[in-house]
Amino acid sequence: MNPANWRTYLVTQASLSGDRTTPEIVRAAIDGGVDAVQLREKDASARSRYELGRELRELTAEAGVDLLVNDRIDIAQAIDADGVHVGQSDLPVEVARELLGPDAIVGCSTSTVDEARDAEAAGADYLGVGAVYDTSSKDVNDDQAGVGPERIAEIAAAVSIPIVGIGGITADNAGPVAEAGAASVAVISEITAAADPQAVTESLAVAVETPTAVDAGGDDR
């Protein structure tokens, strides 16, 4: 799937899933219409991430949902994922592209206009921009917490590839993120910690598709 067509994007984190497994959370999100799943689990061993990735690959492939791997290009290759997501301290976008080939999806975390332009020039297919709102989740550019929808708008005006807003996003505040120019929103705890991950995924999609109807604190326009 083209990242421009994504609306909801789940980043996995087993520590937030309570007594449920990551595959159970992913299955519920798929039932709710999630468009992309990123295998993260940075605290797990490479072997554990590989085994989990194989299970998620089966689930996502059957549902036609894109599967990406955070950082680990080798694991992405090993499980035949659709692509990889890299951060500013990971392997460069151009290296990921060279290793995975032209058909892979390569995403890159950015929080400034300069980073966004550099990632686009290097061959990224989409940008993960954030943290949009304050967040307690790790690895979401915590040192740039709360850049706001305004930063989404600035970056959207500077690049031509799709933007995925991430960081502190909920169904209640996703509207302004989409309205500012994000094609989709990525969440961790909003889905993973939810009592009903399927319903939350559905609500997020509605918030992105009809932002003015779910604009939290913004003016309808």
Active-site residue 109, yes or no?
yes
Active-site residue 48, yes or no?
no
- The response to whether 109 counts as a known ligand-binding position is yes
- The response to whether 38 counts as a known ligand-binding position is yes
- Read off the pLDDT of residues 23-51 as tens digits, 9 standing for 90 and up: 999 999 999 999 999 999 989 999 999 99
Domains and CATH numbers, the chain: 3-214 (3.20.20.70)
Q: Which of 17, 109, 184, 203 is catalytic?
A: 109
User: Quick one: pLDDT band at residue 145, thresholds 50, 70, 90?
Assistant: low
Q: Which of 27, 40, 49, 97 is catalytic?
A: 40
Tell me what pLDDT residue 212 has. Answer: 65
Active-site residue 72, yes or no?
no
Rounded to whole angstroms, the Cα distance separating 44 from 147 reads 29
Residues 6+ apart with CB under 8 A from 34: 8, 9, 10, 26, 65, 191, 201
